[in-house]
Structure 1
Amino acid sequence: MSSEFRDFLELSYEELETLNLAAKEQRKKRVDPEVIKEERLAYLIEEKRIKAVTLVFSDLEGRLHMLDYDKKFFVKSYDNLTFDGSSIRGFTAQKESDLRLGIDWTAFYWVPADVFGPGKVLVFAEVIDKNGDFYIGDLRGVLKNFAKEQFEKNGYTLNAANEIEGFLFDGVEAERTFHETGVFEYVNKGGYYHSLPGDPLREFIDTCSEIQRAMGFENEKDHPEVAPSQFEINYTYGDVVTAADQIQLYKLICRQVATQMGMTASFLPKPVTGVNGSGMHTNVSITKNGKNLFYDAKGQETTSKLGWTFIDRILTHGNDICLLLNASVNSYRRLDPHFEAPNQIKASATDRGSMVRIPIGNEKSARVEVRSVGPDANPYMVLYTVFKTGLDGEISKMKNLRQAERYLPDNIYTALEDFRSATWTTALLGEDVKARYADLKQASADRCPRLLGTVVKACEVQFHHEVYNQLLWGQF
């Protein structure tokens, strides 16, 4: 259709970066959300070239959902946006299906028109229950509340940065057709740090990096990873909710760019056997009044007592929380010690097979790195679990806790048993959400062979929570 009569918002990448960085600065300075709300509403009313507002939210498993509201309708009705929660896996039952979307005006993004379409802006939504509270199945709301409580009670700012690996495969929707083809085709076989300028993987990485930069990610570095056709695009740390939002945007951007290039960006933890899997190394720190509380120049590995206590609690609950950090059948292929997998429940400054690593750092960069996280896990659940466990969990009296010979589960069934039997996971999520999450994971596990074997099975891709749809699920 002709576009000559349309006048929709299309901003340059430089303009986008300026706007998104300014919004990010407001979040850092904790500007009153009501002030930001009034600014954004005024902008939407005044900017005539915007046609729609894209709302995004995540379900219990971390799958991103998107819906567009006509701008004029949105401006009039933003405080009364309802949807059918029974259609979202892990949310309400059919008999109590109505939920509401609350707008997080602080998480407002200007987006590239060539990726998201012209005339659109994007904002994250919070799921609200009938009583007006955060819905218990919306882990973004749970994480946001927890971060707020820590700041108000202790003055803590929770920070995170995630290193998200993925694969680029030939063909659109390669995951959804895997049960028919049985194979993923690489687009590049160069390996770690090696990709020729202009080849498909390099073009993909460059394009995604440009979009992230425009959306205020503040990029650091990007490169091909160890396995063929594998990539990683790094950006700076942020407050914990922004960091989780950026994980969702990162994966959305990668998938959209890959589709536009006739390829598929996959965040399966181990889509191909015989090569390294993909992780989401989760780097966390806590600051108070601008001071990094994980740093102590005289501490072991220059880590403070608070930092080591944080680590000890995560190690204590390593098996309990494994299912929350490794959320799919396919995740347990990655926890294979032959491919640099972090499957040992110990802490180390050097051993990359450790669940927790203490990277080299100074007062600014000191952090704790949880390496066992899969890239397909719910980012809000991951960051809530890591911080809540590190701050409020128990500490085992086991001798040599930090170097004991213990291992994470090598299959989802063991992880499910550990998760269900742990009192800590009930304290984390509450009985209701814990049961719902376990049931979802059990349903996926029951559609797959109990023994993983040496070949990726069609079902572990077909019934993966980021891949399945109603049609695929109905083919079981």
Structure 2
Amino acid sequence: MDNNPLKSFLKIPYDVLEEMNLTANIKRDTVSHAELEKEYKEYLRKEKLIKAVTICFSDIEGRFHMLDYDKKYFLESAENLTFDGSSIRGFSELKESDLRLSVDWSSIHWLPADIFGSGKVILFANIKNRDKTQYESDFRGILQEYTKKLEKEQQIIAYAAPEIEGFLLDGVDAEQNFNEKIGFKLISMGGYYHSLPLDRLRLFIDAAAEAQRAMGFMNEKDHPEVAPSQFEMNFAYKNVLRTCDQTQLYKLVCRQVANSMGMTASFIPKPVSGINGSGMHINISLAKAGQNIFYDKKGQDGLSEDAWDFLRRILNHAPEICVILNSSVNAYRRLDPHFEAPNQIKVSPIDRGAMIRIPAANEKTSRIEIRSVAPDANPYLCHYAILRVGLEGKQLPSDKSKRQRVRSLPSDINEAIKLCKSSKFMDKIIGEKNKRKYLYYKELAADRSPRELGRKVKTSEIIFHHEITDQVLWNSF
């Protein structure tokens, strides 16, 4: 309970919180949506210590949005929650602004009160049109529909786990206040697995990881990464929709914990020149009838033909989807081959410069690791595109009599935009209107930055980044 006797809102101890969220994890994909809605509505009615319900969604670029509803109002109006879509970048136009929030009751998370405030739970929502059909630019809803169809028609379930790296920067709002003449101030000069037990980086990692475990992430390992002041926290393999939800919550928790400690958790891919950048390596596999269909003990590098077909399609279409996997001006700094950058369009079990790596694995863990994804990409759009391309694209042609020429990913966002724009295949994958809308916002940021990246991180590529910039800044350009 709060120390203030005038307030009495829910605060759940971390160990109890973890048990509640792990139980919810089991129910997410085993209990019907109608049953979960009934159960959780009843819980909210009875739990007097909950004051508000946080509803969250992501826009077309992956920026995370949240709004709190008074619990009583929410329970009365859950079937008719609307918002002004024209105020969200990439959503509806002014003349057709109203959109609906369709609550996904299976996505409930109980929250650590010291991170999110007391007396709240959080739920994800899909975006619907006025007539309650799926909104075309809400890639969470689109991914959910696609994975349901995949399971129903082909009995395939896609699983994924990202390795999300980030930087811990000194000062609150370090990104918004960035000045290229000064640069960012890192809080640690350590490196891979190297930090004192109670230094600022380690204290941040511990606090963020504890909160994530309490939220049911099932963290597996948490550690400093290769670059100074860089971190990574890995959570358990889940179906792709849940993985995307946790990716958004992971970044939110990291940002709030850092802010509370007087620092900034940044997912800018390369905020500092001359050191390794941050990635979001996506480990992905497909299962059918409970079996991992990417595994074949006798297959090349332990992979089945299904897995090889999947990754060859991704390699073939890599240039076209690059701007989805690397969606910011700054992301192309990371694709520098001098810093373990996965910029080569090839697959390898050992070469970390390859776009796709084949990790050592067994029947349970066999997967492919797509390394050329930046941590600021829209996780829903990213996983949706990877699945569609991996299952429906054309395979990379192979002539074993000839030595294969190694191709590289685009060197800057302008080249990546051009390749995506000219691709008819991408019209099919994400829709012509979505492609046009998405690339429009990518071009806005690109036009505000020098075409040549150069050696120095520029102010424009930070402050006009889709996860950082605000309406005032855009309108004052």
The normalised TM-score by structure 2 is 0.98
Is contact 2:385-2:430 (8 Å) kept? no
Is contact 2:180-2:458 (8 Å) kept? no
Which residue pairs with 1:390 in the alignment?
A: 390
Is contact 1:347-1:403 (8 Å) kept? no
Structure 1 stretches of 4+ moved >2 Å: 179-182, 396-404
Which residue pairs with 2:17 in the alignment?
A: 16
What is the Cα-based RMSD across aligned positions, in Å?
A: 1.3
Which residue pairs with 1:100 in the alignment?
A: 100
Tell me the SS of whatever aligns to 1:106. strand
Gaps of 5+ in 2: none
Once the two structures are superposed, the pairs formed by residues 165-204 of structure 1 within 5 Å of their partners are 165-179=165-179, 182-204=182-204
Which residue pairs with 1:422 in the alignment?
A: 423
Matched, 1:90 2:73: no
Which residue pairs with 1:444 in the alignment?
A: 445
Which residue pairs with 1:39 in the alignment?
A: 39
Which residue pairs with 2:216 in the alignment?
A: 216
Give the whole-Å Cα distance in 2 for the aligned partners of 1:168 and 1:191. Answer: 13
Bigger mean CA deviation after superposition, 322-331 or 131-140: 131-140
Give the whole-Å Cα distance in 2 for the aligned partners of 1:404 and 1:161. Answer: 31
Shift of 1:396: 3.3
Give the whole-Å Cα distance in 2 for the aligned partners of 1:93 and 1:179. Answer: 34
Is contact 1:168-1:230 (8 Å) kept? yes
Give the whole-Å Cα distance in 2 for the aligned partners of 1:433 and 1:394. Answer: 22
Is contact 2:58-2:138 (8 Å) kept? yes
1:159-213 CA distance string (max 9 Å, x none): 0000000000000000000048641111111111000011000000000110000
Shift of 1:402: 11
Is contact 1:157-1:239 (8 Å) kept? yes
Percent identical = 54
Give the whole-Å Cα distance in 1 for the aligned partners of 2:22 and 2:191. Answer: 33
Give the whole-Å Cα distance in 2 for the aligned partners of 1:128 and 1:65. Answer: 16
Which residue pairs with 1:58 in the alignment?
A: 58
Give the whole-Å Cα distance in 1 for the aligned partners of 2:35 and 2:47. Answer: 18
Tell me the SS of whatever aligns to 1:319. helix
1:144-169 CA distance string (max 9 Å, x none): 01100110011111100000000000
Which residue pairs with 2:77 in the alignment?
A: 77
Give the whole-Å Cα distance in 1 for the aligned partners of 2:175 and 2:433. Answer: 31
Give the whole-Å Cα distance in 1 for the aligned partners of 2:215 and 2:396. Answer: 42
Give the whole-Å Cα distance in 1 for the aligned partners of 2:367 and 2:403. Answer: 17
Tell me the SS of whatever aligns to 1:321. helix
Give the whole-Å Cα distance in 2 for the aligned partners of 1:368 and 1:387. Answer: 12
Give the whole-Å Cα distance in 1 for the aligned partners of 2:386 and 2:39. Answer: 34
Give the whole-Å Cα distance in 2 for the aligned partners of 1:456 and 1:210. Answer: 33
Give the whole-Å Cα distance in 2 for the aligned partners of 1:3 and 1:312. Answer: 60
The normalised TM-score by structure 1 is 0.98
Shift of 1:475: 3.5
Which residue pairs with 1:466 in the alignment?
A: 467
Give the whole-Å Cα distance in 1 for the aligned partners of 2:15 and 2:450. Answer: 50
Shift of 1:133: 1.3
Shift of 1:474: 2.7
Is contact 2:159-2:286 (8 Å) kept? yes
Shift of 1:388: 1.0
Give the whole-Å Cα distance in 2 for the aligned partners of 1:179 and 1:252. Answer: 24
What count of residue pairs does the alignment treat as equivalent?
A: 475
Which residue pairs with 1:239 in the alignment?
A: 239
Aligned AA (1:41): K
1:4-24 CA distance string (max 9 Å, x none): 111101100111111110110
Give the whole-Å Cα distance in 1 for the aligned partners of 2:275 and 2:224. Answer: 14
Is contact 2:29-2:106 (8 Å) kept? no
Give the whole-Å Cα distance in 2 for the aligned partners of 1:365 and 1:433. Answer: 34
Tell me the SS of whatever aligns to 2:211. helix
Tell me the SS of whatever aligns to 1:178. coil
Once the two structures are superposed, the pairs formed by residues 267-278 of structure 1 within 5 Å of their partners are 267-278=267-278
Give the whole-Å Cα distance in 2 for the aligned partners of 1:267 and 1:372. Answer: 15
Shift of 1:466: 0.4
Give the whole-Å Cα distance in 2 for the aligned partners of 1:83 and 1:446. Answer: 30
After superposition, the Cα gap between the structure-2 partners of 1:305 and 1:18, relative to the gap in structure 1 and judged at 3 Å, is: same
Once the two structures are superposed, the pairs formed by residues 214-363 of structure 1 within 5 Å of their partners are 214-363=214-363
Give the whole-Å Cα distance in 2 for the aligned partners of 1:17 and 1:432. Answer: 41
Which residue pairs with 2:128 in the alignment?
A: 128
Gaps of 5+ in 1: none
Aligned AA (2:165): E
Give the whole-Å Cα distance in 2 for the aligned partners of 1:311 and 1:89. Answer: 32
Aligned AA (1:125): A
Shift of 1:432: 0.7
Is contact 1:312-1:402 (8 Å) kept? no
Is contact 2:225-2:231 (8 Å) kept? yes
Tell me the SS of whatever aligns to 2:121. strand
Give the whole-Å Cα distance in 1 for the aligned partners of 2:181 and 2:458. Answer: 11
Is contact 1:346-1:404 (8 Å) kept? no
Aligned AA (2:411): D
Shift of 1:403: 5.4
Give the whole-Å Cα distance in 1 for the aligned partners of 2:403 and 2:103. Answer: 42
